[in-house]
Amino acid sequence: MSIKTNNTASESSSNAMLLLITRLHFYIGLFIGPFIFVAALTGTIYVITPQIEDAIYKDALTTQSVGEPQPLALQIAAAKSQLATDLTLFAVRPAPKQGDTTRVMFLDSSAEHSGARAIFVDPITLDITGNLPVYGTSGVLPLRTTIDFMHRQLLLGEFGRYYSELAASWLWIAALGGLFLWYKGGKKNKAEFANKTEHLRKRRRHYQVGLCLFVGLIFVSVTGLTWSKWAGANIGTLRSTIGWVTPSVDRDLSTNSLKTMTSDEHADHLNHASHQGMTATKHVAEKFENVDLLFDGVLKAARDAGIDANKLEIKPSSATDKAWFVREIDRSWPTQVDSVAIDANTMTVTSRADFATFPIVAKLIRWGIDAHMGILFGVVNQIILTAFGLSLCFMIIWGYRMWWIRRPQAGSTSKPLLQAWARMSTSKKWVTSLIAIALGFSLPVMGVSLLAFLFIDFYRWKRQ
């Protein structure tokens, strides 16, 4: 009799856990589903627009000129001549290849969202081909910048970031909960699907799409959280604590010396090239009066140091005791994101960070973020993310359709979340409570929304 009682209690506790996860999955779909839908839709639009943006801004991005590029100093001078007001030059992106234009970028508070403006210069004729706000490492232009901020914050400023963090915080839990429900209800579902009612057909589609998207749901959720305001800060702290920090160069000239280059395979070639660059720009570097003239020497020193990607960015020093910064910005495959710090007085490399020497975790993080943005594998990445985003949108629609078909009628009762929790064993209550508290502190937006779920659930339970 005792064994039978224990089995019954265990079965009741197991059923309570199933009911708890079922109800939580329902709440996520009902209340968080719209936010996930908007995030998926805007993210998909962002992914499919690079080629559209290139076509819209073709005149600014490309040129028909053929010949040898002019020195960067002259290109910068041409860009500055077009400014109506005096703006601070903060970076230059030389033309990646023949037919492309150079971006000379300035800090500009009037540039909406980005705070930066690029003057596009024909590197051969020095003609100005465009004047546009730019944003981020990818250098997206106004069209994609607007879509990006729609995806991130619904164009509502910092407050809007709560929406995307809410969606990312719950997406992975919804995916795990759906997988659990599919696993626990496998035999029952097969029997019910034989009836082929409209509701069951839609539920089957919902399950099937969810299973196909499972890995992607976890991936997009986790990588999305790294950009979030509250959870992202906690993730950053955790990464620092356990040493998962991406290496970067040290731009402080007071603490750097050539000893950082002793193990570099390009060291001999670098020292020779740096001497040549130093001779050519010595009179400028000593007085530091015309920073623009240093760009060509810094670029040459970086090239000689192994910065060989076509796409790169040069940032001048912000003070006399700070090094210049040159980095590769090609995040397609293979990833080229090496960077160096250069002392413009001597044209020597004082610090470097090479992607090949990054710890594996740092590489995975870099690849994960780039894949999330749809740039890691080019068009292939775009196609995969587009299919994923649209499928997720349709899965949410199917979920709402399933709920509408089976929605509670007037006077009917439902099975509240807290009622299921109350029926669980003491040990499971402790475990679920501790998990909820830990996640609530780690993912604060999710924690606050969970309290809202519980409040609504408690009210409905007592009302019933």
**How do residues 216-226 score in pLDDT, each as one tens digit?**
999 999 999 99
Crossing angle for the helix pair 444-463 and 161-184, to the nearest 10 degrees: 60
Percentage of residues in the chain having pLDDT higher than 70: 84
Are residues 14 and 419 in contact, defined by beta-carbon separation less than 8 angstroms?
A: no
SS3 labels along 231-287:
HHHHHHHHHHHHCCCCCCCCCECCCCCHHHHCCCCCHHHHHHHHHHHHHHHHHHHHH
Residues 19, 417: Cα–Cα separation, whole Å: 8
Are residues 449 and 166 in contact, defined by beta-carbon separation less than 8 angstroms?
A: yes
Q: How confident is the model at residue 279 (pLDDT cuts 50, 70, 90)?
A: very low
**How do residues 152-164 score in pLDDT, each as one tens digit?**
999 999 999 999 9
Residues 159, 156: Cα–Cα separation, whole Å: 6
The 3-state DSSP class for residue 48 equals helix
Residue 2, pLDDT > 60, answer: no
- What is the largest distance, in Å, between two alpha-carbon atoms of the chain? 97
Residue 266, pLDDT > 50, answer: no
Q: Which residue has the higher pLDDT, 201 or 103?
A: 103
Domain residue spans of the chain: 2-47+160-240+379-463, 62-140, 258-357
**How do residues 419-441 score in pLDDT, each as one tens digit?**
889 899 999 999 999 999 999 99
**How do residues 329-343 score in pLDDT, each as one tens digit?**
999 989 999 999 999
Instruction: Kindly report the pTM of this predicted structure.
Output: 0.85
